[in-house]
Copies of this chain bind each other. A is one copy, B any other.
Amino acid sequence: MSSSDNWDKAEKEGSKGRRRPTQARSKATVEAILTATAQVLERSGPEAATTKAIAARAGVSVGSLYQYFGSRDELIDALAHRHVDAMRKVLSESLAELISLPLEAAIPRLMTALIASHRVNPRLDHVLHQLTPISDTAILDEFQDFAATITTTALRTHPDTNLDDPELVGSILAQAVSGVLRTTLRRFPERLGDPALEGLLSDLVLGLLGRQGSATEA
- Name A residues whose Cβ lies closer than 8 Å to a Cβ of B: 1-11, 40, 43-48, 53, 70-71, 73-74, 77, 127, 129-136, 141, 144, 165, 168-169, 171-172, 175-180, 182-184, 187-188, 196-197, 200-201, 203-204, 206-212
Contact = CB atoms under 8 A, between A and B. Distances in A.
A138 to B, nearest CB: 9
A47 B8 CA distance: 12
Quick one: copies of this chain in the complex?
Answer: 4
Nearest to A57: B11
Contact of A40 (B11, B77, B188): B11
Given A132-B130, A134-B47, A73 B3 contact: yes
Nearest to A204: B208
Contact of A210 (B132, B169, B183, B211): B211
B11 A48 contact: yes
A56 B76 CA distance: 29
A196 B165 contact: yes
Majority secondary structure of chain A interface residues (helix, strand, loop or mixed): helix
A48 B4 contact: yes
Given A70-B1, A204-B204, A210-B210, A180 B184 contact: no
B1 A77 contact: yes
A160 B53 CA distance: 57
A200 B184 contact: no
A57 to B, nearest CB: 9
Nearest to A179: B179
A44 B6 CA distance: 8
A203 B212 contact: yes
Nearest to A209: B207
A9 B2 CA distance: 19
A79 to B, nearest CB: 13
A78 to B, nearest CB: 10
Contacts of A178: 179, 183
A149 to B, nearest CB: 15
A207 B211 contact: yes
A168 B200 contact: yes
Contacts of A187: 141
